[in-house]
Structure 1
Amino acid sequence: MENAYLKNPEDECPIDVRKNRFKASFLEFKGYLDLLITIEALINGCIMATQGDHYSQSSVDNSGSDIRKTLEFVRQLLPIEEGEYLDECYNLLIKEP
């Protein structure tokens, strides 16, 4: 299911060559709140998946692997650099008289 959400695999373009990072065209968010709500929904889905009925037949063959992959993806979505920047801005604001 490689590139299932990409219209064209060539749509990926580097955004920071020094860090070897890429931006996939299907990852678009309206803002930080939309991004964080999406992350929360993904995490909640994983939590619900781990609390399922262990005695019934699962319709998902590799649920453990799928959950791991989802959490790895969610981790990549966390706006850590933006958080660091916002912390720096906050510290500058509280230092002003």
Structure 2
Amino acid sequence: MKNKAPKNDKKELKKVLSNLERIRDLSEENFKLLSPIGDGDKGYYLNYARVYDYVDLFSTLKSMLNVSILALEGQQDLTLHISNKESDVKRVLEFAKNLIPLEEGIYLDEIRKLMLSDDKAKKGNL
């Protein structure tokens, strides 16, 4: 006589396999910000730091340095040549905003829903 798994076990296994497939799909869709370095070194390339051209890139780098100089206390003599302080700060903040991995945040929300039991999800208002 063959041992048959109880229906609940088969149902649970089907749910787990379905969740794993969903996790794989979500991972492919949403892990976009970092790409593995392919030359054997450990680490990742940052996929998007949006710049429009070299002038924009160099302006952003200059703004980052200017904001760093402005952050130094007691360095008033270094800040005298910085003419567009507000625009430098704005440029750096806009650049940093582009580095926020929103796609990965979406992924984490979906994974949380999949991984938490129904009771925990209800308590967490998911």
Structure 1 and Structure 2 fold alike (TM over 0.5):
no
TM-score, normalised relative to structure 1: 0.41
| TM-score scaled by length of structure 2 | 0.34
Kindly name which structure, 1 or 2, has the bigger radius of gyration based on alpha carbons. 2
Q: Which has the higher helix share?
A: 2
